Amino acid sequence: MPDPAVLSLRCPRCGAPMRGLQQDVVFWCQGCAAPREIVGTTFVERDCSTALPGVELAGRILHLPIWAFRVQYVLGWNDPEREGLSRLIPPVEWVYVTGFELHNASYFGDPGLIFTEKRVRLEPGPPAPVLGCALSLEEAKGYVEAHLLAIIDRRVDVTGLELSCSIGEVRLWGVPYFDGGDALHDGILGLKIPAAAVDEVAAMRLVLAEGR
């Protein structure tokens, strides 16, 4: 078994320290404000934007990670009588995958799946640190077709469905969550999740407080 690699949390571009939490796979450079994912034994820069809030809510803001994939897909059924079902499904351009750990997402609502179903279009705002990204890009890709199928299944019977999907642009978004103490409200749709359901929320608050 090879020895584990030890990586210095210094930005390979500017040399500034990088922020992150214990379970993170993406770290935020405090100098050039670029996110870098650990891939193997190196850091890989990822395209990232901070989402502009669409609703007004009071409180401290935590920017939580959500992966966004621009997709193209083709649906088909072997049964010719079912081919027309594809016209009943609203087209999806972006599939979102939650990058932070959320306990009981099926109960509270998976933000990435909800954003996908609502066909959210995120707009970039001023840069801000993104913390809590515990899901790698490659892991997030594994949820794309599953999210599409979950949304399609709510509208039509997917029995016998053949889905072919390709991924184009990929971006990591820092989605603003307004911290109300016991609950977090996303700044895009205004949906609420208990703060206790977000893994390492206390650590996120501490890191941001220390950075001020």
**Regions of the chain with pLDDT less than 50:** 1-2
Give tens-digit pLDDT for 72-111: 998 887 777 777 777 777 889 999 999 999 998 888 899 9
Q: Which of 56, 62, 49 is CA-nearest to residue 189?
A: 56
Q: Letter for the amino acid at 52?
A: L
Q: Which of 177, 112, 122, 174 is CA-nearest to residue 147?
A: 112
Cα(81)–Cα(44) distance, rounded to whole angstroms?
Answer: 47
Cα(85)–Cα(187) distance, rounded to whole angstroms?
Answer: 34
Structure tokens belonging to residue 139? 């892991």
Structure tokens belonging to residue 115? 């954003």
> Can you give the pTM of this predicted structure?
0.91
pLDDT of residue 161: 83
The Cα-based distances of 17 to 8, 33, 158 in angstroms read 9, 10, 48
Cα(6)–Cα(53) distance, rounded to whole angstroms?
Answer: 37
pLDDT of residue 1: 47
pLDDT of residue 211: 66
Cα(71)–Cα(73) distance, rounded to whole angstroms?
Answer: 6
Q: Is 162 helix (H, G, I), strand (E, B) or coil?
A: strand
Q: Is 197 helix (H, G, I), strand (E, B) or coil?
A: helix
